[in-house]
Amino acid sequence: MSYNSDSSVQEIQEVHIHRDDFGSKMGMWLFLFTEILLFGGLFIMYAGYRYLYSDGFAAAATELDVLLGTINTVILLTSSLTVVLSIVALQKNNKQLSLFFLWVTVLCGLIFLVNKYFEWGAKFHHGIYPKGPALQNMSEGEVLYFGLYFVMTGLHGLHIVVGLIFIGYVMRQIQKDVITSVNFQKLENSGLYWHLVDIIWIFLFPLFYLIH
Amino acid sequence: MANGTIAVSPHTAEVDFYNVRTKHKGILSWLLTIDHKRIGIMYLFAVVFFFLVAMTIGVFMRLEMLTPGETIMKPQTYNSLFTLHGVIMIFLFIIPAVPAVFGNFFLPIQLGAQDVQFPKLNLLSWYLYVIGAVLALTSLFSGGGIMDTGWTFYVPYSIRTTTNVSLSVFAAFVLGFATILTGLNFITTIHRLRCPGMTWFRMPLFAWALYATSWIQVLATPVIGITLILIILERAFGIGIFDPALGGDPLLYQHMFWIYSHPAVYIMILPAMGVVSEIIPTFSKKAIFGYVPIAISSLGIALVGYLVWGHHMFSSGISDTSRVIFSLLTFFVALPSGIKIFNWVATMYKGSIEVTAPMLYVLLFIFIFSIGGLTGLSLGALNTDLHLTDTYFVVAHFHYVMFGGMGIIFFAALHYWFPKMFGKMYNEKVAKTAAIWIGIGFNMLYFPMFIMGYLGQPRRYYDYLPEFQKYHIFSTVGSWVLVSGILIMYINLAIALKRGKKAPDNPWGGTTLEWKTSSPPIMENFKEIPTVTTGPYDHSNMESQEVKK
């Protein structure tokens, strides 16, 4: 292709990008729908197998540490609060406070992952992992329970990591004054994502830890 | 829209999007572009390439079926080929073809916008598509050999086979991601970027069809995503969810698979129906009959299509209650499709019909798709399905619907919008000849399969009983006719690309916004944002723009 010389069209690609906060939030909500359906598939399978193997599921659920699960729930709920606070702080033009709340969020996310690491580690230590020695002696319901447990909490953990990366990126943008009190849609979007991660956990927690 | 106030004068010195000065030069001006038109063109070349690959595989499969027993390949090769043919056609051609190529190129223009809502995300979708395609191709030459599960990856075989299932399945997952992001982009674009005066019910029906499609893409694709990931985890770690040896239920896999893959059928066909609703008014010189029912029936198909997945499992061992319910719901899907067919035919009634190449393809589509749709009802009825399931009847049915529906309309769209996309005219006579060859070859190839299936020829076998040979010969010869038609068509377009006459802005007398801008369009699509005052198919002011021959 040859390039005609027409000086009026310089940087023409820039016109394609325009700011539309509402549109950007809408895109984020659609993306959250897809995430819910992704986990929705797993929740359907959980429901199906819970119905088929209710005894096995009840027996396996006693293996989980309710205290650790509760602590993690509290941690995640707190982190959701701090994300909201950071948005409010930024809206009120308090950059430092906003960053502080995001730091708290990141810290909560990390503590959650560390707790999860110890939980999984303990299971592995007892031989409870796919094809592990302890699991092979358990009933089919228990095998499926732990199969789902590892997949669902694993996928959820992965989402925490992604959420932390989003928040880390947003924090840099706030520091560089790209995200400001009048242009905070990216912060709000990563906040939405973080709430989603939180909500999924709110369903995972009773399904795996509390129903015996 | 016909009398919209657009100040775009034809044939000015305005620079089209191919020749405009861009930030990056040479090949990078394509690979790093965020212009929806360039991304659409890149998709076009990718999907045509994969179509030709999968078509070639199909020709070899037909050649194998020419005689009973081994003709040119071993059974294992045949298993791999039909898997490949299915996977490439479905995931790399049919699903992305119309939305990603023509949707990308024309949706923003038809809405009077400059681009999609998220241009960078759009480019990311294209890269995910390419990465998915590369992964799929890599899986052919690595691991334990070419996958032999069929495109449905049914467990437990897909867990046990030593062939390279994991990588191919991951490729399908990545391709799904590309689809989701495109759908998300289109929905937001339609909500946010309609030009002044473009109300919901002044949108072209192609945009309506893409809107319905995008919702299915967003709402159904994640379910297959997680299901495919579970196959990979099952193969890697043995978590048991789909493995009957560990208590898992293979039927549950089929449910999860078809919860996505049946709506996916409508991801394939709805955009094609949108294209038909564009072409028929243009070449009938008449406003579409029943605009609102067609628009709403797209959403209806999307909604009901979500609830009929169980009809793929009538013989898998689901309960009688669910079979009856799914069968009933399946019949309901025929209603919105029927509404569309009747409205298209009614649009042509008393119109001034001009049988050009795109219109010829559309007529072919109505004929073929009606056969495909009606045989779908035979399969949706429980008792006939038990007789016909897993026979060539099913193969014939879905080729009539998928290839005859979406594939033929892909060709129609290519001819309809070719002048706009490339600014060149093709040889109309050759294009029509190709269309007729395709029509004849198509029916020769697939119609005998209905008969064979009815007589009991099972699908996916590389061998058959001698009494079926006469049908197989007929069918294989048909594949040669079809392929020659397709090759003539592509060669004709390739010649037009190189040496075609310059296309006018509105060669067909179309009324939607893409015909109001130059061919090919300028980078910003319109010199100034158009304002729309009427519905999309208002031909009342078209006399002055008579078709330039």
pLDDT in tens, B115-138: 999 999 999 999 999 999 999 988
Q: Residue B277 in contact with residue B206, Cβ under 8 Å?
A: yes
Q: How far apart are the C-alpha atoms of A189 and A161, rounded to whole Å?
A: 16
Distance from CA of A5 to the nearest CA of B (A): 8
Q: How far apart are the C-alpha atoms of B267 and B261, rounded to whole Å?
A: 9
CB < 8 Å to B180, chain A: 34
CB < 8 Å to B226, chain A: 38-39, 41-42, 155
pLDDT in tens, B239-248: 889 998 888 8
Chain-chain contact of B222 with A30 (C-beta, under 8 angstroms): no
Considering chain B, what is the average pLDDT of its residues?
Answer: 91
Chain-chain contact of B19 with A4 (C-beta, under 8 angstroms): yes
Chain-chain contact of A30 with B118 (C-beta, under 8 angstroms): no
Chain-chain contact of A1 with B18 (C-beta, under 8 angstroms): yes
pLDDT in tens, B294-340: 999 988 888 888 899 999 999 888 999 999 999 999 999 888 888 99
Chain-chain contact of A10 with B18 (C-beta, under 8 angstroms): no
B276 pLDDT above the threshold of 90: yes
Nearest to A141 among B22, B220, B247 (CB): B247
Tokens of residue A190, six digits = 């990563």
Chain-chain contact of B119 with A131 (C-beta, under 8 angstroms): no
pLDDT in tens, B175-184: 999 999 999 9
CB < 8 Å to A20, chain B: 117, 192
Instruction: Give yes or no for B372 touching A (CB within 8 A).
Output: no
Burial class from Cβ neighbours inside 10 Å (0-12, 13-18, 19+) for residue B241 reads buried
pLDDT in tens, B488-541: 999 999 999 999 999 999 999 999 999 999 999 998 899 888 999 888 998 876
Distance from CA of B121 to the nearest CA of A (A): 11
- The ipTM (two decimal places) reads 0.88
Nearest to A26 among B121, B188, B230 (CB): B188
CB < 8 Å to A33, chain B: 218-219
Comparing C-alpha atoms, which of A37, A160, A147 is closest to residue A110?
A: A160
Chain-chain contact of A27 with B230 (C-beta, under 8 angstroms): no
With a CB cutoff of 8 Å and minimum separation 6, the contacts of B354 are B283, B284, B285, B547
Distance from CA of B447 to the nearest CA of A (A): 38
Q: Which fold is adopted by the domain A42-210? A: Four Helix Bundle (Hemerythrin (Met), subunit A) (1.20.120)
Across the range B374-395, mean pLDDT stands at 93
Across the range B452-470, mean pLDDT stands at 94
By percentage, how much of chain A surpasses pLDDT 70?
Answer: 92
Q: Residue B314 in contact with residue B383, Cβ under 8 Å?
A: no
Supply the pLDDT for residue A13: 42
Tokens of residue A66, six digits = 């309710």
Instruction: Give yes or no for B120 touching A (CB within 8 A).
Output: yes
Torsion of CA B287, B290, B295, B297, to 10 degrees: -150
- A59-118 residues touching B, CB cutoff 8 A: none
Comparing C-alpha atoms, which of B18, B22, B2 is closest to residue B423?
A: B18
Helix (H, G, I), strand (E, B) or coil at B502: strand
Distance from CA of B491 to the nearest CA of A (A): 21
> Looking at A60-64, A77-81, A101-105, B204-208, which range is the least confident one?
A60-64
Across the range A5-24, mean pLDDT stands at 59
Nearest to B230 among A1, A144, A151 (CB): A151
CB < 8 Å to B225, chain A: 38, 41
Supply the pLDDT for residue B549: 40
Across the range A10-16, mean pLDDT stands at 45
CB < 8 Å to A35, chain B: 222
Comparing C-alpha atoms, which of A75, A86, A61, A43 is closest to residue A160?
A: A75
B279 confidence band (pLDDT: 50, 70, 90):
very high
CB < 8 Å to A143, chain B: 240, 246-247
Supply the pLDDT for residue B542: 60
Instruction: Give yes or no for A8 touching B (CB within 8 A).
Output: no
Considering chain A, what is the average pLDDT of its residues?
Answer: 89
Q: How far apart are the C-alpha atoms of B456 and B452, rounded to whole Å?
A: 6
Chain-chain contact of B19 with A17 (C-beta, under 8 angstroms): no
More confident residue, B541 or B405: B405
B4 pLDDT above the threshold of 80: no
Distance from CA of B218 to the nearest CA of A (A): 6
Instruction: Give yes or no for A34 touching B (CB within 8 A).
Output: yes
Nearest to B240 among A4, A33, A147 (CB): A147
A19 confidence band (pLDDT: 50, 70, 90):
confident
Residue of chain B with shortest Cα separation from A7: B21
More confident residue, B148 or B111: B111
Chain-chain contact of A30 with B184 (C-beta, under 8 angstroms): yes
CB < 8 Å to A17, chain B: 34, 119-120
Q: How far apart are the C-alpha atoms of B146 and B57, rounded to whole Å?
A: 13
Q: How far apart are the C-alpha atoms of B144 and B153, rounded to whole Å?
A: 16
Instruction: Give yes or no for B230 touching A (CB within 8 A).
Output: yes
- Choose, out of B184, B258, B261, the residue to mutate when testing the contact with A (most A CBs < 10 Å): B184
Comparing C-alpha atoms, which of A37, A81, A54, A36 is closest to residue A207?
A: A54
pLDDT in tens, B59-81: 999 999 999 999 999 998 999 89
Nearest to B218 among A34, A139, A155 (CB): A34
B548 confidence band (pLDDT: 50, 70, 90):
very low
pLDDT in tens, A48-95: 999 999 999 999 999 899 999 999 999 999 999 999 999 999 999 999
Give the amino acid at B295: A
By percentage, how much of chain B surpasses pLDDT 70?
Answer: 96
Q: Domain limits of chain A?
A: 42-210
- Choose, out of A34, A120, A158, the residue to mutate when testing the contact with B (most B CBs < 10 Å): A34
Tokens of residue B414, six digits = 């290519």
Supply the pLDDT for residue B546: 46
- The owner of tokens 């759009």 is B122
> Cα A198–A204–A205 angle (5° rounding)?
90
Residue of chain A with shortest Cα separation from B183: A30
Across the range B357-384, mean pLDDT stands at 94
pLDDT in tens, B410-438: 999 999 999 999 999 999 999 999 999 99
A17 confidence band (pLDDT: 50, 70, 90):
low
Tokens of residue B232, six digits = 């990979």
pLDDT in tens, A141-181: 999 999 999 999 999 999 999 999 999 999 999 999 999 88
Q: Residue B112 in contact with residue B5, Cβ under 8 Å?
A: no
Helices (H), A92-184: 95-125, 133-136, 140-175
Supply the pLDDT for residue A82: 96
Instruction: Give yes or no for A131 touching B (CB within 8 A).
Output: yes
CATH number of B33-537: 1.20.210.10
A14 pLDDT above the threshold of 70: no
Helices (H), B193-307: 205-237, 250-284, 291-305
Give the amino acid at B423: G
Chain-chain contact of A130 with B33 (C-beta, under 8 angstroms): no
Helix (H, G, I), strand (E, B) or coil at A183: strand
B7 pLDDT above the threshold of 60: no
A133 confidence band (pLDDT: 50, 70, 90):
confident
> Cα B499–B502–B504 angle (5° rounding)?
155
B8 pLDDT above the threshold of 50: no
Chain-chain contact of A4 with B21 (C-beta, under 8 angstroms): yes
By percentage, how much of chain B surpasses pLDDT 90?
Answer: 75
